[in-house]
Structure 1
Amino acid sequence: MRRCSALLAAAVLAGCATPPAPPRAYVALLENADGSTGRVVYRGPSGTAELRQPREAVALDGPATPFTLSPAQLQRDAGAAMAAQPRPPRVFVLYFDAGNAQMTASSQALLADILADVKSRATADMSIIGHTDTVGGAEQNAALALRRAEQVGQMLKEAIAAAQQVEITSHGETNLLVPTPDETPEPRNRRVEVTVR
């Protein structure tokens, strides 16, 4: 009888030690692709909760008390949705010499990476946007930036053929990476940005 009581007590204690199952509907904070985490402020009928840690969650239909999801629970509840997300866009920045459409050698080395990224996606869209620094007139710089973007497009013919949609445009000197006064030669502004998504 004593042994039976001990087993019953152990079973009751084990039942108390099991954490409650997470609610069926909740908001959870996940890590970004780079490992960083933002924050979420949830306001609902039963209060407000601030989520700051990865996998921290709050029930949509219960008390506004944060709890932490186990990796296994998150996988069970949202694994399929997370796996179905498209890959994040990737931006490649190619730099150019002053006043012309000659790409730097280090930027030319990135062309193979761009092609590989396009081919690694089931479907890919590309944007190729040319930029200049502020040396010269606005119209002249718009034309030079477009010439740079079109040249990159020619160098990436194979990637363009594999992409679903490609947009080649010029921002000239209107979208500076490094803000400068007019007539300032800034190498980081002489660029073409290739975004693959």
Structure 2
Amino acid sequence: MKGNRFFALLLIFFLAGCAGKENLIVLTPDANGTVGAIQFKNEKGSVVLDEPGKAIIAKDSQSPPSASTPIADADTQTIFREALSAKPLAPQSFILYFDFDSNNLTAESNKLIDDILQAIKERDSQDIPVVGHTDRAGNPDYNFSLSMQRATAVRDLLVNRGIKSEFIQISSHGEGNPLIPTADNVAEARNRRVEVVVR
């Protein structure tokens, strides 16, 4: 089985058949409604699943996989109830912006801290990357240090609100990974940021 981009949830169910077990494979959208694709391949052929609500039945390696066929959402929910109930929440990303040449959050970004804390609580997260960035104004070495200060400031805010520091991984990209590409020495507010991912 070869997968392309796994945006979607892949569900596999083993069906008892006369000639042995069959695999029912269903592709469903992720929380944002995005669907990836998967190719199922064996010695007798291959088939691609790239639409939500479609399924294939795969038998043994000597039988070609079936062409994709529609499956009702209600049937998917019934067959895969246990797997779906155990499915973790998708990671959630937040972008926090900073004042120029500072590790002080903008007033608007300060309001997002409660949303980040809520996402951590909902996921019971212990994996929270916090990545600092700057714009391209100033010296690259200084900007690398400043972006680390920004990541550290966000970590400290979260720790002060009850998140364990060992759950947070901080890193710094300096000016090297701009959200908005600019020429050197250009100030760009949207590049003065920290990205927080709650997994």
TM-score range relative to shorter protein: 0.7 to 0.9
Determine the C-alpha separation between the residues in 2 that align with 1:56 and 1:164: 42
Query: Which segments of structure 1 move beyond 4 Å, counting only runs of 4 or more?
Result: none
Name the counterpart of 1:49: 47
The structural deviation recorded for 1:65 is 1.6
> Root-mean-square deviation (CA), in Å?
2.3
Determine the C-alpha separation between the residues in 2 that align with 1:152 and 1:76: 43
Flag the 1:152–1:163 CA change in 2: closer, same or farther, 3 A: closer
Name the counterpart of 2:163: 161
Determine the C-alpha separation between the residues in 2 that align with 1:99 and 1:35: 38
Instruction: Name the stretch that deviates more: 108-117 or 58-67.
Output: 58-67
Summarize deviations over 1:80-125 as a string: whole Å, max 9, x none. Answer: 1222122111111000122112211110110111112112223432
Determine the C-alpha separation between the residues in 2 that align with 1:163 and 1:124: 10
**Identity, % of aligned pairs?**
35
Determine the C-alpha separation between the residues in 2 that align with 1:194 and 1:160: 16
- Is 1:128 aligned with 2:130? yes
Larger helix fraction of residues? 1
Determine the C-alpha separation between the residues in 2 that align with 1:160 and 1:128: 16
1:113 to 104, 112, 115: 115
- Is 1:176 aligned with 2:174? no
Name the counterpart of 1:60: 58
Which structure has the larger Rg?
1
Residues 97 and 190, structure 1, Cα contact 8 Å, conserved in 2: yes
Name the counterpart of 2:197: 195
Determine the C-alpha separation between the residues in 2 that align with 1:27 and 1:163: 40
* Structure-to-structure mapping, 1:8-157, within 5 angstroms: 24-61=22-59, 62=63, 63-157=65-159
Name the counterpart of 2:12: none
Q: Where does the alignment leave 5 or more consecutive residues of structure 1 unmatched?
A: 1-20
Determine the C-alpha separation between the residues in 1 that align with 2:113 and 2:22: 47
The structural deviation recorded for 1:159 is 4.7
Residues 133 and 174, structure 2, Cα contact 8 Å, conserved in 1: yes
Determine the C-alpha separation between the residues in 2 that align with 1:78 and 1:163: 37
Flag the 1:97–1:189 CA change in 2: closer, same or farther, 3 A: same
